[in-house]
Amino acid sequence: MKSFLVIGLGRFGRSCARELCDLGYDVLGVDQNLKLVNEAATYLTHTVQADATDEDFLKSISIKDFDACVVAIGNNQETSVMITVLLKEHGARTIVSKAQSDLHAKILKKLGADKIILPEYDMGVKLAHTLCNTNIYDLIDISPEHSIMSIKPPKEWAGKSLGELSARDKYGVNIIAIESDEKEANVFPTASTVINPNDTLLVIGGNENLNRLQSM
Ligand code: ATP
Return the domain boundaries, the chain. Answer: 3-117, 122-214
Q: Among 59, 64, 57, which residue's Cα sits nearest to residue 91?
A: 64
Test site for ligand 1: of 9, 32, 69, most ligand atoms within 8 A of the Cβ: 32
Q: Which CATH architecture has domain 122-214?
A: 2-Layer Sandwich (3.30)
d(CA 82, CA 70): 13
Q: Which amino acid is residue 91, in one-letter code?
A: G
For residue 31, give the ligand 1 atom closest to its CA: 30
Test site for ligand 1: of 75, 78, 117, 122, most ligand atoms within 8 A of the Cβ: 75
Please tell me the distance between residue 177's alpha carbon and the centre of ligand 1 in angstroms. Answer: 38
Q: Kindly write down the DSSP assignment for every residue of 178-198, as one continuous string.
A: EE-SSS-EESS--TTPBPPTT
Residue-wise pLDDT tens digits, 118-150: 999 888 887 887 776 655 666 777 777 788 888
Q: Which residue has the higher pLDDT, 7 or 190?
A: 7
pLDDT at 25: 93
Asked if the 3-117 domain carries CATH number 3.20.20.370, the reply is no
Ligand 1 pocket residues where CB is under 6 Å:
7-13, 30-33, 36, 51-53, 72-76, 79, 98
Please tell me the distance between residue 78's alpha carbon and the centre of ligand 1 in angstroms. Answer: 12
How many residues are recorded in the chain? 216
Q: Which residue has the higher pLDDT, 52 or 122?
A: 52
Residue 44's SS3 state is coil
- Chain centroid to CA 73: how far? 17
The end-to-end CA distance of the chain, in Å, is 41
Q: Do residues 149 and 136 lie in contact, with contact meaning Cβ atoms separated by under 8 Å?
A: yes
Please tell me the distance between residue 44's alpha carbon and the centre of ligand 1 in angstroms. Answer: 17
Can you list the alpha helix ranges (DSSP code H) found in 71-171? 77-89, 102-110, 119-132, 162-165, 167-171
Q: What is the pTM of this model?
A: 0.74
